[in-house]
A = this chain, B = another copy of it.
Protein backbone atom coordinates (compact mmCIF):
# COMPACT_ATOMS: atom_id res chain seq x y z
CA UNK A 1 0.00 0.00 0.00
CA UNK A 2 1.96 2.94 -1.22
CA UNK A 3 -0.98 5.28 -0.88
CA UNK A 4 -0.35 8.81 0.32
CA UNK A 5 -1.81 9.48 3.72
CA UNK A 6 -3.99 12.48 4.45
CA UNK A 7 -4.02 13.40 8.12
CA UNK A 8 -7.26 14.72 9.41
CA UNK A 9 -8.11 16.78 12.45
CA UNK A 10 -11.75 16.99 13.39
CA UNK A 11 -13.34 19.78 15.44
CA UNK A 12 -16.57 18.81 17.20
CA UNK A 13 -18.06 15.52 18.30
CA UNK A 14 -21.78 16.11 17.99
CA UNK A 15 -24.11 14.61 15.45
CA UNK A 16 -22.02 15.87 12.57
CA UNK A 17 -18.81 14.70 14.20
CA UNK A 18 -20.25 11.19 14.07
CA UNK A 19 -21.30 11.35 10.41
CA UNK A 20 -17.91 12.72 9.35
CA UNK A 21 -15.98 10.19 11.43
CA UNK A 22 -17.95 7.35 9.94
CA UNK A 23 -17.35 8.72 6.45
CA UNK A 24 -13.59 8.89 6.90
CA UNK A 25 -13.57 5.35 8.31
CA UNK A 26 -15.76 3.82 5.63
CA UNK A 27 -14.74 5.49 2.38
CA UNK A 28 -11.48 3.55 1.88
CA UNK A 29 -13.11 0.12 2.05
CA UNK A 30 -15.63 0.92 -0.66
CA UNK A 31 -13.82 3.31 -2.99
CA UNK A 32 -10.40 3.06 -4.58
CA UNK A 33 -8.91 6.36 -3.46
CA UNK A 34 -5.59 8.10 -4.16
CA UNK A 35 -5.27 9.09 -0.49
CA UNK A 36 -5.70 7.15 2.69
CA UNK A 37 -7.50 9.30 5.25
CA UNK A 38 -5.84 9.03 8.64
CA UNK A 39 -7.99 9.96 11.61
CA UNK A 40 -5.26 11.80 13.47
CA UNK A 41 -6.97 13.89 16.12
CA UNK A 42 -10.28 15.17 17.34
CA UNK A 43 -10.67 18.41 19.23
CA UNK A 44 -13.36 19.31 21.73
CA UNK A 45 -13.42 21.27 24.96
CA UNK A 46 -14.51 18.40 27.19
CA UNK A 47 -11.47 16.11 27.38
CA UNK A 48 -13.31 13.07 28.72
CA UNK A 49 -16.03 13.17 26.14
CA UNK A 50 -13.50 13.84 23.43
CA UNK A 51 -11.43 10.83 24.49
CA UNK A 52 -14.47 8.61 24.56
CA UNK A 53 -15.43 9.81 21.10
CA UNK A 54 -11.88 9.26 19.85
CA UNK A 55 -11.81 5.72 21.26
CA UNK A 56 -15.09 4.89 19.65
CA UNK A 57 -14.24 6.12 16.19
CA UNK A 58 -10.53 5.48 16.11
CA UNK A 59 -9.18 9.03 16.27
CA UNK A 60 -5.56 8.62 17.29
CA UNK A 61 -5.37 11.56 19.67
CA UNK A 62 -7.35 14.31 21.37
CA UNK A 63 -7.03 18.06 21.70
CA UNK A 64 -9.17 20.30 23.88
CA UNK A 65 -8.39 23.48 21.97
CA UNK A 66 -8.94 23.63 18.25
CA UNK A 67 -6.08 26.10 17.96
CA UNK A 68 -3.71 23.37 19.08
CA UNK A 69 -5.10 21.15 16.41
CA UNK A 70 -4.34 23.72 13.77
CA UNK A 71 -0.84 24.18 15.10
CA UNK A 72 0.01 20.50 14.76
CA UNK A 73 2.33 19.69 11.88
CA UNK A 74 0.92 16.21 11.52
CA UNK A 75 -2.48 17.50 10.44
CA UNK A 76 -3.19 18.17 6.76
CA UNK A 77 -6.85 18.89 6.87
CA UNK A 78 -9.14 20.52 9.40
CA UNK A 79 -12.69 19.25 9.34
CA UNK A 80 -15.16 21.55 11.13
CA UNK A 81 -18.21 19.88 12.68
CA UNK A 82 -18.78 22.26 15.58
CA UNK A 83 -21.70 24.72 15.97
CA UNK A 84 -22.20 27.40 13.31
CA UNK A 85 -20.82 30.30 15.36
CA UNK A 86 -17.38 28.65 15.38
CA UNK A 87 -17.07 27.94 11.67
CA UNK A 88 -15.57 31.20 10.48
CA UNK A 89 -12.88 31.62 13.11
CA UNK A 90 -11.67 28.02 12.82
CA UNK A 91 -11.78 27.90 9.04
CA UNK A 92 -9.91 31.15 8.65
CA UNK A 93 -7.24 30.13 11.15
CA UNK A 94 -6.87 26.74 9.48
CA UNK A 95 -6.52 28.28 6.05
CA UNK A 96 -3.94 30.73 7.32
CA UNK A 97 -2.01 27.79 8.72
CA UNK A 98 -2.09 26.24 5.26
CA UNK A 99 -4.45 23.43 6.13
CA UNK A 100 -7.09 22.12 3.83
CA UNK A 101 -10.54 22.80 5.26
CA UNK A 102 -13.80 20.93 5.17
CA UNK A 103 -16.68 22.68 6.89
CA UNK A 104 -20.12 21.54 7.91
CA UNK A 105 -22.92 23.63 6.39
CA UNK A 106 -23.95 26.40 6.51
CA UNK A 107 -20.53 27.86 5.88
CA UNK A 108 -21.02 30.95 8.09
CA UNK A 109 -23.92 32.36 10.05
CA UNK A 110 -24.21 35.06 7.41
CA UNK A 111 -22.91 35.66 3.92
CA UNK A 112 -20.58 38.24 5.42
CA UNK A 113 -18.95 35.61 7.59
CA UNK A 114 -18.92 33.13 4.74
CA UNK A 115 -17.27 35.65 2.43
CA UNK A 116 -14.35 35.99 4.85
CA UNK A 117 -13.99 32.23 4.89
CA UNK A 118 -13.94 32.09 1.10
CA UNK A 119 -11.32 34.83 1.00
CA UNK A 120 -9.20 32.97 3.53
CA UNK A 121 -9.14 29.63 1.72
CA UNK A 122 -8.70 31.22 -1.69
CA UNK A 123 -5.87 33.43 -0.49
CA UNK A 124 -4.21 30.47 1.15
CA UNK A 125 -4.87 28.34 -1.91
CA UNK A 126 -5.98 25.37 0.18
CA UNK A 127 -8.44 22.70 -0.83
CA UNK A 128 -11.84 23.36 0.66
CA UNK A 129 -15.30 21.87 0.71
CA UNK A 130 -18.64 22.39 2.42
CA UNK A 131 -20.56 19.33 3.61
CA UNK A 132 -23.69 19.77 1.53
CA UNK A 133 -23.86 16.02 1.60
CA UNK A 134 -27.15 15.58 -0.21
CA UNK A 135 -25.59 16.31 -3.59
CA UNK A 136 -24.10 12.82 -3.19
CA UNK A 137 -27.36 10.95 -2.96
CA UNK A 138 -27.10 8.75 -6.09
CA UNK A 139 -30.55 9.86 -7.27
CA UNK A 140 -29.56 13.52 -7.01
CA UNK A 141 -26.20 12.98 -8.65
CA UNK A 142 -27.84 11.18 -11.55
CA UNK A 143 -30.42 13.94 -11.85
CA UNK A 144 -27.56 16.41 -12.26
CA UNK A 145 -26.19 14.23 -15.06
CA UNK A 146 -29.58 14.02 -16.75
CA UNK A 147 -29.95 17.79 -16.66
CA UNK A 148 -26.43 18.30 -17.99
CA UNK A 149 -27.19 15.89 -20.82
CA UNK A 150 -29.96 18.28 -21.92
CA UNK A 151 -32.82 15.91 -21.27
CA UNK A 152 -35.12 18.50 -19.69
CA UNK A 153 -35.03 21.30 -22.26
CA UNK A 154 -36.20 24.71 -21.10
CA UNK A 155 -36.93 24.68 -17.39
CA UNK A 156 -40.22 26.15 -16.18
CA UNK A 157 -40.37 25.25 -12.50
CA UNK A 158 -38.16 24.21 -9.64
CA UNK A 159 -39.61 23.65 -6.19
CA UNK A 160 -38.16 22.26 -3.02
CA UNK A 161 -39.19 21.69 0.58
CA UNK A 162 -37.62 20.59 3.83
CA UNK A 163 -40.28 19.64 6.34
CA UNK A 164 -39.65 18.56 9.92
CA UNK A 165 -41.72 18.50 13.08
CA UNK A 166 -39.35 18.24 16.03
CA UNK A 167 -39.80 21.67 17.63
CA UNK A 168 -43.58 21.80 17.88
CA UNK A 169 -43.66 21.17 21.62
CA UNK A 170 -43.62 24.37 23.65
CA UNK A 171 -41.76 22.44 26.37
CA UNK A 172 -38.63 22.08 24.28
CA UNK A 173 -35.95 24.36 25.79
CA UNK A 174 -33.41 26.43 23.89
CA UNK A 175 -29.59 25.99 24.08
CA UNK A 176 -27.22 23.12 24.76
CA UNK A 177 -26.46 20.03 22.69
CA UNK A 178 -28.63 19.89 19.60
CA UNK A 179 -30.75 22.75 20.91
CA UNK A 180 -28.25 25.49 20.08
CA UNK A 181 -30.05 25.37 16.73
CA UNK A 182 -32.90 27.32 18.34
CA UNK A 183 -30.53 30.11 19.40
CA UNK A 184 -29.96 32.52 16.51
CA UNK A 185 -26.83 33.96 18.09
CA UNK A 186 -25.16 30.58 17.64
CA UNK A 187 -26.94 29.17 14.60
CA UNK A 188 -27.25 32.40 12.62
CA UNK A 189 -30.86 31.63 11.75
CA UNK A 190 -33.48 28.95 12.14
CA UNK A 191 -34.67 26.74 9.35
CA UNK A 192 -33.36 29.11 6.69
CA UNK A 193 -29.73 28.27 7.43
CA UNK A 194 -30.31 24.79 8.79
CA UNK A 195 -32.71 23.32 6.25
CA UNK A 196 -33.43 25.72 3.41
CA UNK A 197 -29.70 26.01 2.83
CA UNK A 198 -29.72 22.36 1.73
CA UNK A 199 -32.58 23.03 -0.67
CA UNK A 200 -30.81 26.03 -2.09
CA UNK A 201 -27.40 24.42 -2.50
CA UNK A 202 -28.97 21.59 -4.43
CA UNK A 203 -31.08 23.95 -6.52
CA UNK A 204 -28.15 26.16 -7.50
CA UNK A 205 -26.22 23.07 -8.49
CA UNK A 206 -29.04 21.58 -10.53
CA UNK A 207 -30.80 24.63 -11.92
CA UNK A 208 -28.32 27.53 -11.73
CA UNK A 209 -28.46 30.89 -9.94
CA UNK A 210 -31.49 32.35 -8.21
CA UNK A 211 -31.74 36.04 -8.97
CA UNK A 212 -34.48 37.36 -6.72
CA UNK A 213 -36.77 36.25 -3.92
CA UNK A 214 -39.84 37.31 -2.00
CA UNK A 215 -39.96 35.56 1.35
CA UNK A 216 -41.92 35.09 4.54
CA UNK A 217 -40.69 33.67 7.82
CA UNK A 218 -42.53 32.80 11.02
CA UNK A 219 -41.60 32.21 14.62
CA UNK A 220 -44.51 30.16 15.89
CA UNK A 221 -43.26 29.79 19.45
CA UNK A 222 -41.92 33.09 20.71
CA UNK A 223 -40.50 32.09 24.09
CA UNK A 224 -38.75 29.00 25.42
CA UNK A 225 -36.97 28.05 28.62
CA UNK A 226 -33.23 28.60 28.43
CA UNK A 227 -31.44 25.28 29.06
CA UNK A 228 -28.57 27.04 30.86
CA UNK A 229 -30.43 29.59 33.02
CA UNK A 230 -33.89 28.04 33.33
CA UNK A 231 -35.33 31.49 32.52
CA UNK A 232 -37.75 32.34 29.71
CA UNK A 233 -35.92 33.46 26.66
CA UNK A 234 -37.23 35.21 23.53
CA UNK A 235 -36.80 33.05 20.45
CA UNK A 236 -35.33 34.90 17.49
CA UNK A 237 -34.92 32.13 14.96
CA UNK A 238 -37.28 31.51 12.07
CA UNK A 239 -39.37 28.39 12.71
CA UNK A 240 -40.56 28.37 9.13
CA UNK A 241 -39.34 30.06 5.97
CA UNK A 242 -40.85 30.16 2.50
CA UNK A 243 -40.11 32.05 -0.66
CA UNK A 244 -41.07 32.51 -4.26
CA UNK A 245 -38.32 33.54 -6.63
CA UNK A 246 -36.82 33.45 -10.06
CA UNK A 247 -33.88 31.54 -11.41
CA UNK A 248 -31.54 33.10 -13.93
CA UNK A 249 -32.81 30.59 -16.52
CA UNK A 250 -36.32 32.03 -16.25
CA UNK A 251 -37.86 29.27 -14.18
CA UNK A 252 -40.06 29.97 -11.17
CA UNK A 253 -38.80 29.04 -7.71
CA UNK A 254 -40.96 27.87 -4.81
CA UNK A 255 -39.17 26.93 -1.60
CA UNK A 256 -40.22 26.14 1.93
CA UNK A 257 -38.64 24.85 5.11
CA UNK A 258 -40.20 24.34 8.51
CA UNK A 259 -39.91 22.44 11.77
CA UNK A 260 -43.71 22.62 12.22
CA UNK A 261 -44.99 20.16 9.63
CA UNK A 262 -46.48 17.47 11.84
CA UNK A 263 -45.75 14.00 10.52
CA UNK A 264 -42.61 14.80 8.55
CA UNK A 265 -39.23 13.98 10.00
CA UNK A 266 -36.79 15.05 7.31
CA UNK A 267 -38.88 15.43 4.20
CA UNK A 268 -36.44 17.13 1.87
CA UNK A 269 -38.09 17.20 -1.58
CA UNK A 270 -37.37 18.63 -4.98
CA UNK A 271 -39.14 18.73 -8.28
CA UNK A 272 -38.01 20.15 -11.59
CA UNK A 273 -40.31 20.62 -14.58
CA UNK A 274 -38.78 21.08 -17.98
CA UNK A 275 -40.17 21.29 -21.47
CA UNK A 276 -39.13 17.71 -22.23
CA UNK A 277 -38.97 16.00 -18.86
CA UNK A 278 -39.67 16.31 -15.16
CA UNK A 279 -38.10 14.69 -12.12
CA UNK A 280 -38.70 14.57 -8.40
CA UNK A 281 -36.94 13.16 -5.39
CA UNK A 282 -37.26 13.10 -1.62
CA UNK A 283 -34.97 12.24 1.25
CA UNK A 284 -37.40 9.94 3.04
CA UNK A 285 -36.88 7.42 0.25
CA UNK A 286 -33.60 8.66 -1.01
CA UNK A 287 -32.90 5.61 -3.14
CA UNK A 288 -35.65 6.46 -5.62
CA UNK A 289 -35.79 8.98 -8.43
CA UNK A 290 -39.10 9.78 -10.11
CA UNK A 291 -38.70 10.63 -13.75
CA UNK A 292 -41.15 11.61 -16.48
CA UNK A 293 -39.92 11.70 -20.06
CA UNK A 294 -42.22 13.26 -22.63
CA UNK A 295 -40.48 11.55 -25.53
CA UNK A 296 -41.77 8.15 -24.43
CA UNK A 297 -44.63 6.57 -26.35
CA UNK A 298 -47.85 8.46 -25.58
CA UNK A 299 -50.05 5.82 -24.10
CA UNK A 300 -47.21 4.44 -21.96
CA UNK A 301 -46.04 7.77 -20.61
CA UNK A 302 -45.94 8.17 -16.87
CA UNK A 303 -43.69 8.77 -13.92
CA UNK A 304 -41.03 6.09 -13.68
CA UNK A 305 -39.89 5.07 -10.23
CA UNK A 306 -36.17 4.47 -10.72
CA UNK A 307 -34.75 2.37 -7.91
CA UNK A 308 -31.24 3.72 -7.62
CA UNK A 309 -29.44 0.50 -6.77
CA UNK A 310 -27.96 -0.63 -10.08
CA UNK A 311 -24.33 -0.69 -11.01
CA UNK A 312 -24.84 2.01 -13.62
CA UNK A 313 -26.22 4.43 -11.06
CA UNK A 314 -23.74 6.87 -9.49
CA UNK A 315 -21.68 5.36 -6.64
CA UNK A 316 -23.73 2.15 -6.58
CA UNK A 317 -21.27 -0.28 -8.14
CA UNK A 318 -19.18 0.35 -5.04
CA UNK A 319 -21.84 -0.91 -2.68
CA UNK A 320 -23.94 -4.08 -2.81
CA UNK A 321 -26.05 -5.63 -5.55
CA UNK A 322 -29.16 -4.33 -7.37
CA UNK A 323 -32.20 -3.97 -5.15
CA UNK A 324 -30.28 -3.36 -1.94
CA UNK A 325 -30.58 0.14 -0.64
CA UNK A 326 -28.08 2.44 0.97
CA UNK A 327 -28.93 5.12 3.51
CA UNK A 328 -28.20 8.55 4.89
CA UNK A 329 -24.63 8.07 6.03
CA UNK A 330 -23.49 7.00 2.58
CA UNK A 331 -23.82 10.54 1.26
CA UNK A 332 -21.00 11.59 3.57
CA UNK A 333 -18.90 8.63 2.51
CA UNK A 334 -19.39 9.64 -1.12
CA UNK A 335 -18.33 13.15 -0.26
CA UNK A 336 -15.10 11.95 1.31
CA UNK A 337 -14.48 9.70 -1.68
CA UNK A 338 -15.05 12.54 -4.14
CA UNK A 339 -12.94 14.96 -2.13
CA UNK A 340 -10.01 12.58 -2.02
CA UNK A 341 -10.41 11.64 -5.66
CA UNK A 342 -10.50 15.34 -6.54
CA UNK A 343 -7.33 15.93 -4.55
CA UNK A 344 -5.62 13.15 -6.43
CA UNK A 345 -6.66 14.30 -9.86
CA UNK A 346 -6.21 17.99 -9.28
CA UNK A 347 -9.87 18.59 -10.03
CA UNK A 348 -11.38 19.76 -6.75
CA UNK A 349 -14.78 18.35 -5.95
CA UNK A 350 -17.67 20.73 -5.33
CA UNK A 351 -19.22 22.31 -3.33
CA UNK A 352 -16.33 24.59 -2.53
CA UNK A 353 -16.50 27.36 0.05
CA UNK A 354 -17.38 29.69 -2.83
CA UNK A 355 -20.32 27.45 -3.69
CA UNK A 356 -21.31 27.57 -0.02
CA UNK A 357 -21.18 31.36 -0.16
CA UNK A 358 -23.56 31.38 -3.15
CA UNK A 359 -26.09 29.58 -1.00
CA UNK A 360 -25.65 32.10 1.80
CA UNK A 361 -26.31 34.99 -0.54
CA UNK A 362 -29.67 33.39 -1.18
CA UNK A 363 -30.42 32.65 2.49
CA UNK A 364 -29.43 36.20 3.38
CA UNK A 365 -31.76 37.57 0.70
CA UNK A 366 -34.53 35.34 2.02
CA UNK A 367 -34.10 36.55 5.58
CA UNK A 368 -33.83 40.16 4.41
CA UNK A 369 -36.93 39.93 2.22
CA UNK A 370 -38.88 38.51 5.15
CA UNK A 371 -37.91 41.64 7.07
CA UNK A 372 -38.33 44.24 4.34
CA UNK A 373 -41.42 42.57 2.85
CA UNK A 374 -39.97 43.33 -0.56
CA UNK A 375 -38.48 41.38 -3.42
CA UNK A 376 -34.76 41.21 -2.79
CA UNK A 377 -32.05 40.58 -5.37
CA UNK A 378 -29.46 37.88 -4.71
CA UNK A 379 -25.76 38.73 -4.78
CA UNK A 380 -23.42 36.70 -6.94
CA UNK A 381 -20.72 34.65 -5.24
Contact = CB atoms under 8 A, between A and B. Distances in A.
Nearest to A289: B302
A284 B329 contact: no
A278 B261 contact: yes
Contacts of A56: 28-29
A177 interface: no
Contact of A266 (B214, B324, B328): B324
A165 B274 CA distance: 10
Interface in A308-359: 309-310, 312-313, 319-330
A306 B303 CA distance: 7
A328 B324 contact: yes
Number of copies of this protein chain within its complex: 4
A292 interface: yes
Nearest to A316: B299
Contact of A142 (B299, B319, B325, B374): B299
Contacts of A324: 265-266, 283, 327-328
Contact of A261 (B156, B216, B284, B307): B156
Interface in A214-235: 214-216, 218, 220
Given A29-B57, A254-B256, A291 B284 contact: no
Interface stretch (A87-95, A109-117, A237-245): A237-245
Given A168-B275, A214-B216, A258 B156 contact: yes
B306 A301 contact: yes
B244 A214 contact: yes
A264 B263 CA distance: 24
A305 interface: yes
A248 interface: no
Contacts of A19: 320
A375 B303 CA distance: 36
B262 A273 contact: yes
A283 B156 contact: no
B328 A326 contact: yes
A306 B313 contact: no
Interface in A122-181: 142, 156-157, 159, 163-166, 168
B307 A265 contact: yes
A266 B329 contact: no
A328 B329 contact: no
Interface of A: 1, 15, 19, 21-22, 25-26, 28-29, 55-57, 142, 156-157, 159, 163-166, 168, 214-216, 218, 220, 240, 242-246, 250, 252, 254, 256, 258, 260-267, 273-278, 283-287, 291-294, 296, 298-307, 309-310, 312-313, 319-330, 373-375
- Which 8 pairs across A and B sit closest by C-beta, in order of nearness? A266-B323, A265-B323, A263-B292, A324-B328, A156-B260, A302-B306, A327-B327, A265-B322
9 contacts: A156-B168, A157-B258, A164-B323, A216-B246, A262-B277, A263-B278, A300-B304, A302-B306, A373-B375
